[in-house]
Amino acid sequence: CTRNSRQPSLPTAPEEDMSDQQDAKLAQEFSKYLFGQIDSKNYEKTKQLFRPQSVMSFEGNNCQGPDKIVGLLKQWNQKYPQTKHEAEADCLPLPDGSKLLLLTGRRMDKDHPNKMKGVLVVCAAVLKKDKNWWVSNMIYRGEANGKNCPVDSLKIGVQFAEHFYKTYDGNHRQLAQAYSDHTIMKYEKDVCKGTQQIMIKLTKGLSDKWEEQKKSKLPFRSVQFETVKHDLRSIDLHPAGGKGCIMIMTTGKIAPDGSQQGCAFGEVLVIHNNNGWKVAVQGFRQIY
């Protein structure tokens, strides 16, 4: 397993509001920087990414603060002294002005030496800014599965997720009640805003029908399957994204239209209580 000798620099925070293009650039740069430090075992630079209030869940293990976070990574690196991460990176705005990154891909190490055999990895990180971007929350899942609810106040998030996927698998059209006109969803590369666009995206053939009726073009196409089943392997929860918000990260397999061979996926939901719990932000990626 090899590592790049050239390390990317830590992205600086701009003064003004960021465009979608800047968000995409931030996601790519921060992903390279974060995994670059983890893979190179550069613990001092890794520590600079976190603050005393930063919280991490790493393979179901929870800790807070730069020293404990680095200590947890050092412990993990005893098992994997050499690693290389390759990941897609998505960025979405959160209600409190912070940024949500969803990183999905593979990790190569001594037991998984090439990409085809690499460990499937899903990571969600919330970035805040002072002079530089820093990580307030981070969840990482690779080999370990399970349910991780660090405090009782987050149990409502577990209940929401279980109901969300049960509804999704039973009759996805009923998912509309989980969204609002302000919800932002990134489904693979497509960005949808509001309940109507999201339901068009999640319903086979509906984008064509909508365009025919409205005589207008949508920036995305509907999914190509009628039904879907989720097999959840892990669920992690953090308080993140704004006052009263809960971040939920899930991993597992998704099987469309009765397929017996599901595809791995990573998903993150940030929910808030707005006359009932609703999805504020959602990111979804299949991992190949």
Residue closest to 220 by CA, chosen among 205, 207, 211: 207
For residue 199, give the 3-state DSSP assignment: helix
Would you state the pLDDT for residue 2?
38
Going from the C-alpha of 29 to that of each of 26, 81, 143, 288, the distances in angstroms are 5, 24, 25, 22
Q: Give average pLDDT by consecutive 10-residue segment, the chain, 288 residues.
A: 49 64 93 95 95 97 97 93 95 95 96 92 96 95 95 96 97 96 97 98 97 96 96 97 94 95 96 93 96
Q: Would you say 140 and 59 are in contact if contact means Cβ atoms under 8 Å apart?
A: yes
d(CA 155, CA 102): 22
Would you state the pLDDT for residue 20?
83
Would you state the pLDDT for residue 1?
42
- pTM score of the predicted model: 0.93
